Amino acid sequence: MKTKLKLKEKLFSGNLGFTLFSIVIGFVVGAIVLLIAGFNPLEAYSVMISGVFSRPKYISWTIIYATPIIITGLSVAFAFRTGLFNIGAEGQYIIGSLVATAIGYFLKLPPVIHFIFVFITAALAAGLWGAIAGYLKAKFGVHEVIATIMLNWIALYLNNYFVMLEGFKRPQSETSYEIQNTASITILENWKYSDVGREWLSNYPILKDILAAPVNLGFLIAILLAILVWYILNKTTLGYELRAVGFNRHAAEYGGINVEKSMVISMFIAGALAGIAGALQVTGVTKSVAILAAMEGYGFDGIAVSLIGSNTAFGSIFSGLLFGMLKYGGPKIQPFLRAPSEVVNIVIGTIVFFVAIPKFIRMLGSLMNKKRGEKNVG
Amino acid sequence: MDGRNFKEKVVEMKNITKMFGDFKANDNINLTVHKGEVHALLGENGAGKTTLMNVLYGLYQPTSGEIYIKGKKVNVENPNVAIENGIGMVHQHFMLVEPFTVAENIILGMETTKGIGVLDRDKAIEDVEKLSEQYGLYVDPNAKIQDITVGMQQRVEILKALYRGADILILDEPTAVLTPQEIEDLIKIIKNLTNEGKTVIIITHKLKEIKQVADYCTIIRRGKYIDTVKVSETTEEELASKMVGREVSFKVDKEERETGDTVLKIDNLVVRDNRNIKAVDGLSLEVKSGEILGIAGVDGNGQSELIEAITGLREVESGKVYFNSKDITNKTPREIIDSGISTIPEDRQKRGLVLEFTIAENTVLENYDREPFSRKGILNENKIKEYAKDLIKKFDVRPNNEKIKAKALSGGNQQKVIIAREVSNDPDLLIAAQPTRGLDVGAIEFVHKSLVEQRDKNKAVLLVSLELDEVLNVSDRIAVIYEGKIVDIIDAEEADEKTLGLLMAGRGGKRNEN
Amino acid sequence: MLDNILESLAFILGTTLMYSAPLIYTALGGVISENSGVVNIGLEGMMTIGAFFGATVGYYSGNPWLGFLVGGLAGGALALLHAIASVTFAADQVVSGIAINFLGPGLALFLSRMFFDGATMTRPIDLEDKIPRSLDKILTKGTFIEKVFNQYDTVYLAFILVAIIWFILYKTKLGLRIRAVGEHPKAADTLGINVYNIRYLCVFLSGVFAGFGGAAMSLAVVSNFRPTLISGQGFIALAAMIFGKWKPQGAMLACLLFGAAQGLVVFLGGTEFQVPSEILAMIPYVLTLIILMGFVGRATPPAADGVPYEKDSN
């Protein structure tokens, strides 16, 4: 009895409890919206679930959907933990994918080395893009939220400008040329479409199904990055400095930490992460970049991923996977039930909304305790 | 006396108890105040004076107890009810809107209007001028708050209350931020107010001021009512012992010492503040080993900027800072810490600690990047933990758990963590800026003892404090700062409050003689 | 030659006015909310829901003004959520705003599919059911003046609203209280001003204005709602508000600048001019960054902007 109470207390007071509670509320609100609109929410949710889990290929796709937003989530979480709000993951992602495509298409390098080169240059470019916001904050006191919003749009137009350039733009299209195969990280990309590959795979239907999606190394890299982010933040002097600046820049400055440098480094790392997300998406899935009429939302989704993951590295993996499920499974209710798939955004918005108000959940918790207390007295 | 007979009860607070969670801030307190009197509320920091007055003003609801105003039982639900009943409050931290004008601040919430909701600024200015004349509270209604002095801001606060028809005025620590001369002006204003039939309740822990201005004094200790005394029939010593619950000696024990070499030498220093005004303006000073040099002065005369400049947190415009004969002007904070200067900062929560960090993390704020606490950029958590445990034990930090966050500690224990960290660096110079602000008597004694220990180890100590008593009791020599300059340096033995007070107000001193 | 230049100029000025109007409404929403101390990054979501409701009600009722009004109310309703989170529950206002930016477009597209047979685009409103151009009858056709100023009524309303908000903020009792709450909520509280009520009012109004902005887009600039209609304009309005130093008149000028950039892009799209439109489109954002760097005077937000107010008595 006592341990049970303790567990409950822990859930109610801890971040994990708030988050789980918010996720439940998110789905309940989604159900209510569906119900009001005349759909059976249970049916809708079961379509989503089977749309994610019923075939190996679906699971592949879910992970592919989750990969970039796990990493943009890491980018936002890293900045958060160092006291910065990186709304600019969107633009950093764009820069990363643009540079990855350019390096992947124009350079001719051996396999693996080509990818590593693409990876590093994209991370560097996006890191520098992020560092601009850090520098503007450190030197001129420009709030990073505003600076990164501006930089997002500048990145979008830069992307559109470069994609349109002669020699990069694929004729009769709105996209660039595709990257060389040497830069790709899609698993068994050529083999699985070759005669040998097809024949071999026909004996292994599950494997064949898994590989029906552009399965790539991105997810593994995302997990490695999460470990790296966790390690840097918690185990290194750099992480100590960045967190100190994030919590209290005045105390950090007094302790001899170079606050301005820390802000730039922090935004550089956040930017590099978002850029890597873009690079992995290009080298693993899209192979090229297109003209953007509007923001694609990888960065904004990253904010929600980070928030739902309590701004921790490993939390981002789980919430990123949840997002992947919603994003991949959600649209499947459209053809099956003719139910609007945007209910997914309502669910996500509701989760973030409740994550923002732990005070509400705490009040709810203490209200319930009080009631129970009164009962015990009477 | 002067026609005031103190017969008519205007405020009666009966059996007031106020809980914050499990903590009893006020425990069954009684307070009776008569019309026309100045009633002092005396107690240490954290005794519950301000809480009691916030209850009277409707900012807090009492857990139990009753309030009678002018004989009528009143349920003071919010400040509006207090205002309706003629109560006005001047908070310790002024409640003024900086970019607004004096007149706008005074009328806010009770605006003069013409038509539907349109401000009538001319009427407001007229009203303010009339009121300020009546009580001798001169202000410029059109000046912006951010441009006027602290003393002037206080007058605006008093006018705000009077404008709302207050006849009972609560002043929370009104003299904390004033120069001795401004304090005299304030006392005159209080006399004017009582002559006009107003009643004044003044919260303070300064005994001298009580003797100067108050008629009655109610003493509170740790949330409990102790006594109400007629001020003219008591002594400062009696008030003090009632306040702290035991005999107190204001003296700090220390032995005579020979001073040694000059450790810190400041030469003609000029430093600008955030508004780009010269806050330190040609200041020169020397601190020797084996002495505590105290800097006395009224808040805002360049003390903060001076310390920030020495410690590398603020740019020096001209002049030099030498430490152990080495030029450290405009070096980075890290270089200055490494050269052997430690600082107890004036705002422990803003500068001294990362409140979200654990005690252990806070103890290595200045040397986390050195062995044994880290190697090649990787933290050694075990070594940090051991070090923190050691400091916690040596300095008796409570609770003795290095894993809890600094924000969970009391003010006194937070200060202990900072002192432990700074003293353990074994600095040649320890700078202590307002090291006892907001601490209780026990913690204050600990801090003073730590400073004297440094001195006795033949180190140099630079103490900056707004509490004149502290400077007088702890220092060996006292430098008085006024408008960014040292106006005089006096041996503590020969110093007294009156001379220092005049110097702090910019009167007398070497500079003004030539 | 001169005629050509005048013609071009008239076109650019006209499109500038047209594109600025939705931004002005939304930026005013930001001004009123942030002057009361609540950061509103959710303007984007509020604008989107306003655009959807505007277009939908306009389409079904045939009355553009009813659509405009309902668009505003829909924005206001969404803003109330933001107010509940950030005023009552002392939430991180940026996080709450992010939630609004998921909810607004999500709800708009969800409802669009419900009302328009699964389409994410609402059906276009007939030309005569769009917001009217009242000056159309007065101005002489083909003149320079006509080309610049013959605009939808929402354009003029936007500028009138700027004047109204300016007057309220700086000349009235309510405005004084709003700004006091944004600068020093505790001071306002001790003077008996209800901080929560003022902030609720201001956040609600900010949603209404952002909703107007969205509706001005879907009922005047174009004639339907579609998923990419707003895409980022709420954020641009937010930037314009900061650019304009949290003042209604400043925000208006900033919106005109952003509108002019858009106008230029449209204009150059129809010419043989050599500057790539992408570079041109970038200019306002670069300019905003430069301004924020403080070369043209510092922009300081209200002192308590973004800080939840919590009474410490419990």
Kindly list the structural domains of chain B, giving each domain's residue range(s) and its CATH number in brackets, ordered by start.
Answer: 9-244 (3.40.50.300), 251-340+429-436+459-514 (3.40.50.300), 347-426 (no CATH)
Q: Which of residues 23-82 of B touch C (CB under 8 A)?
A: 54, 57, 59-61, 78-80
Q: State residue B249's pLDDT score.
A: 54
- Chain C residues lying within 8 Å of A161, measured CB to CB: 276, 278-279
> Of the given ranges (B2-6, B135-139, C201-205), which has the lowest mean pLDDT?
B2-6
Q: Which of residues 110-169 of C touch A (CB under 8 A)?
A: 110-114, 118
Q: State residue C162's pLDDT score.
A: 98
B81 touches chain A (CB under 8 A): no
Closest partner residue to A255 (CB to CB) among B355, B356, B365 is B365
Residue A342 · residue C113 · CB < 8 Å? yes
- Chain A residues lying within 8 Å of B377, measured CB to CB: 236-238
Whether residue B396 is predicted with pLDDT greater than 70 in this model: the reply is yes
B383-393: per-residue pLDDT in tens?
A: 999 999 999 99
Q: State residue A136's pLDDT score.
A: 94
- Chain A residues lying within 8 Å of C101, measured CB to CB: 300, 349
- Chain B residues lying within 8 Å of C301, measured CB to CB: none
Query: What is the mean pLDDT, run by run of 10 residues, along chain A of 378 residues?
Result: 48 71 94 94 94 94 97 97 94 98 96 95 98 94 87 95 92 93 89 88 88 92 97 96 94 94 97 98 96 91 93 94 94 89 93 91 78 52
Partner-chain contact A146 C239, CB within 8 Å: yes
**How many Cβ contacts (< 8 angstroms) between chains B and C?**
70
Separation between Cα atoms, residue A359 and residue A356, nearest integer Å: 9
| ipTM given for this complex | 0.90
> Of the given ranges (A346-350, B140-144, B202-206, C206-210), which has the lowest mean pLDDT?
B202-206
Q: State residue A2's pLDDT score.
A: 43
Q: What is the mean pLDDT of chain B?
A: 89
Over residues B487-503, the mean pLDDT reads 86
Helix (H, G, I), strand (E, B) or coil at B17: strand
Which helix (H) or strand (E) element contains residue A123? Answer: helix A113-140
Q: Where are the domains of chain A?
A: 67-329
Partner-chain contact B361 A255, CB within 8 Å: no
H/E/C letters for each residue in chain C? CHHHHHHHHHHHHHHHHHHHHHHHHHHHHHHHHHHCCCCCCCHHHHHHHHHHHHHHHHHHHCCHHHHHHHHHHHHHHHHHHHHHHHHHCCCCHHHHHHHHHHHHHHHHHHHHHHHCCCCCCCCCCCHHHCCCCHHHCCCCCCCHHHHHHCCCHHHHHHHHHHHHHHHHHHHEHHHHHHHHHHHCHHHHHHCCCCHHHHHHHHHHHHHHHHHHHHHHHHHHHCCCCCCCCCCCHHHHHHHHHHHCCCCHHHHHHHHHHHHHHHHHHHHHHCCCCCCCHHHHHHHHHHHHHHHHHHHCCCCCCCCCCCCCCCCCCC
Cα A28 to chain centroid distance, Å, stands at: 24
Intervals of chain C under pLDDT 50: 313-314
Whether residue B171 is predicted with pLDDT greater than 50 in this model: the reply is yes
pTM of the model: 0.87
Residue B60 CB partners (closer than 8 Å, separation 6+): B18, B51, B54, C313
Closest partner residue to B377 (CB to CB) among A237, A243, A257 is A237
Separation between Cα atoms, residue B111 and residue B99, nearest integer Å: 17
Task: Quote the minimal CA–CA distance from C200 to chain B in Å.
Answer: 18
Q: State residue C293's pLDDT score.
A: 83
Q: Which of residues 211-250 of A touch B (CB under 8 A)?
A: 235-241, 243-244, 247-248, 250
Residue type at B452 in one-letter notation = V
Over residues B159-168, the mean pLDDT reads 93
Sheet architecture: strand order including B9-20: B72-73, B64-69, B9-20, B23-34, B224-230, B216-221, B38-42, B199-204, B168-172, B87-90
Q: State residue A32's pLDDT score.
A: 96
Separation between Cα atoms, residue C253 and residue C240, nearest integer Å: 8
Task: Quote the minimal CA–CA distance from A182 to chain C in Å.
Answer: 31
Closest partner residue to B351 (CB to CB) among A237, A254, A258 is A254
Task: Quote the minimal CA–CA distance from C138 to chain A in Å.
Answer: 38
- Chain B residues lying within 8 Å of C183, measured CB to CB: 97-100
Whether residue B12 is predicted with pLDDT greater than 60 in this model: the reply is yes
User: What b-and-e string marks burial along A189-214, b requiring 16 or more CB atoms within 10 Å of the CB?
Assistant: beebeeeebeeebeeeeeebbbbbbb
Cis peptide before C22 (omega within 30 of 0): no
Partner-chain contact C98 A153, CB within 8 Å: no
Kindly list the structural domains of chain C, giving each domain's residue range(s) and its CATH number in brackets, ordered by start.
Answer: 2-295 (1.10.3470)
A260 touches chain B (CB under 8 A): no
Q: State residue C312's pLDDT score.
A: 59
Partner-chain contact B351 A236, CB within 8 Å: no
Partner-chain contact A244 B369, CB within 8 Å: no
- Interface partners of chain C (CB pairs < 8 Å, 3 or more) are A, B
B300-349: per-residue pLDDT in tens?
A: 889 999 999 999 999 999 999 999 999 999 999 999 999 999 999 988 88
Whether residue B284 is predicted with pLDDT greater than 90 in this model: the reply is yes
Q: State residue B1's pLDDT score.
A: 47
Helix (H, G, I), strand (E, B) or coil at B513: helix
Task: Quote the minimal CA–CA distance from A249 to chain B in Å.
Answer: 8
Q: What number of other Cβ atoms are within 10 A of residue B394's Cβ?
A: 12
Q: Which residue of A has its CA nearest to C41?
A: A145
pLDDT over 70 percentage in chain B: 96
Residue B508 pLDDT level (bands cut at 50, 70, 90): low
Partner-chain contact B354 A253, CB within 8 Å: no
